[in-house]
């Protein structure tokens, strides 16, 4: 297998076969992100991608899940991506699902019919970094998407029958824009109703623009307790149906889980218990150590 740069994948793809169809990230401008800094974005040649999958066919057994890397694989031209999916299904007829990272831009760049065709060819899940639902925060972090564009993209991919796993970053608005971050995110998430929602917490990594803002005193981070209260306000405002919620990333101060809205009371109770019982100083030290060692 050939890989270029550091390869990242969602936690749920830990046991998936991972093949790069692109390298790097098609955007790579987000101020908080330290990922994909060692790889220039490019879309790989279809023949090279096929060679990697053929290698995998000859060396690996029982491939059930496949993740198409890197940071925004859906940006690949439709005809090329469809050719890759058909090739995968030919080599691995028993694979359970194919998934990839997507962006608002790459989703909106595909037609409804194209997305449905991709779903018919076993593209079952897309991971979308919403990050925030506030236009102010989205502009500050250089996401290059508005809240309305994110809503349109999220609704579009769900209409195609592709499961949507969305991520939101708690603390991304800092102290100044925490209220806007929460209120906007509630609006966006309620409009999209993703199948899965992963709550992460802002990790300020050296080498990023947001790190420079923190060092300059222009961005004030939330304390661990404030992060938990922000999370509580978010959950209170969510009116979702059958959305699996997880907060189990290493960036988080406390792990919560449940299904919204059926488990809303339970999730809020988990947050309350975390506020009462968590050793936030220990959690903070672990997160700081992790931030020094990784780009996440």
Calculate the CA 268 to chain-centre distance: 23
Characterize 212-248 residue by residue with b for buried, 16 or more Cβ atoms within 10 angstroms of its Cβ, and e for exposed: ebbeeeebeebebeebbbbbbbbbeebebeebbbbbe
Confidence band of 149 (pLDDT split at 50, 70, 90) = very high
Confidence of residue 290 (pLDDT cuts 50, 70, 90): very low
| Per-residue pLDDT at 36 exceeds 90 | no
The whole-number average pLDDT for the span 40-48 is 93
Would the pLDDT of 25 be above 60? yes
Report cis status (omega within 30 of 0) of the bond before 81.
no
Q: Would you say residue 250 has pLDDT above 80?
A: no
Query: Contact, 198 vs 249, CB < 8 A?
Result: yes
Domain ranges across the chain: 11-294
- 64-85, pLDDT tens digit by residue? 999 999 889 999 999 999 999 9
Residue 293 has a pLDDT of 45
**At 243, which helix (H) or strand (E)?**
strand 243-246
- For a pLDDT cut of 70, what percent of the chain falls above it? 93
Say which residue, 11 or 248, is predicted with more confidence: 11
Q: What Cα–Cα distance (Å) separates residue 282 from each residue in 41, 50, 158, 223?
A: 37, 46, 39, 13
Quickly name the fold that domain 11-294 has.
pyruvate-formate lyase- activating enzyme (3.80.30)
Measure the CA–CA gap between 53 and 84, rounded to whole angstroms: 9
Distance, CA of 107 to CA of 72 (rounded, Å):
10
- More confident site: 10 or 148: 148
Strand 17-20 relative to strand 42-43: parallel, antiparallel, unpaired? unpaired
In degrees, rounded to 5, the angle at the alpha carbon of residue 39 between the alpha carbons of residues 173 and 104 is 45
Poorest-pLDDT segment among 14-23, 205-214, 240-249, 251-260: 251-260
Mean pLDDT across the stretch 96-112? 97
Give 165-220 pLDDT, tens digit per residue.
999 999 999 999 999 999 999 999 999 999 999 999 999 988 899 999 999 999 99
pLDDT for 108: 98
H-type alpha helices, the chain: 46-59, 78-91, 104-108, 112-120, 135-140, 147-159, 178-192, 209-215, 224-237, 264-277, 280-293
pLDDT for residue 295 is more than 50: no
- Rounded mean pLDDT of the chain? 91
Does the structure show a pLDDT above 80 at 291?
Answer: no
End-to-end CA distance of the chain: give it in Å, rounded: 24
């Amino acid at each position: 297998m050939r890989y270029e740069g550091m390869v990242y994948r969602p936690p749920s793809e830990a046991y998936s076969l991972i093949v790069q169809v692109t390298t790097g990230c098609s955007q790579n401008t987000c101020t908080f992100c330290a990922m994909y800094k060692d790889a220039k974005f490019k879309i790989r040649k279809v023949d090279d991608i096929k060679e990697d999958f053929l290698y995998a066919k000859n060396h690996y057994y029982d491939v059930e899940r496949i993740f198409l890397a890197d940071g925004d694989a859906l940006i690949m031209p439709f005809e090329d991506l469809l050719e890759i999916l058909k090739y995968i299904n030919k080599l691995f007829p028993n694979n359970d699902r194919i998934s990839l990272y997507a962006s608002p831009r790459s989703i909106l760049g595909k037609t409804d019919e194209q997305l449905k065709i991709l779903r018919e060819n076993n593209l079952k899940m897309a991971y979308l970094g919403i990050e925030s639902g506030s236009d102010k925060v989205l502009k500050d972090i250089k996401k290059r998407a508005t809240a309305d564009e994110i809503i349109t993209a999220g609704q579009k991919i769900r209409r195609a029958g592709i499961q949507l796993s969305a991520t939101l970053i708690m603390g991304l608005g800092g102290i100044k824009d925490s209220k806007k971050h929460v209120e906007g995110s509630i609006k966006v998430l309620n409009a999209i109703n993703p199948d899965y929602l992963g709550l992460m917490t802002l990790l300020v990594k050296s080498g990023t623009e947001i790190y420079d803002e923190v060092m300059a005193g222009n961005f004030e981070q939330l304390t661990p307790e404030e992060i938990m209260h922000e999370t509580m306000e978010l959950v209170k405002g969510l009116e979702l149906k059958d959305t699996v919620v997880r907060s189990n990333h290493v960036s988080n101060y406390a792990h919560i889980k449940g299904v919204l809205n059926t488990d809303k009371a339970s999730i809020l109770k988990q947050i309350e218990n975390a506020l009462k019982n968590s050793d936030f100083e220990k959690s903070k030290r672990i997160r700081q150590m992790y931030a020094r060692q990784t780009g996440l």
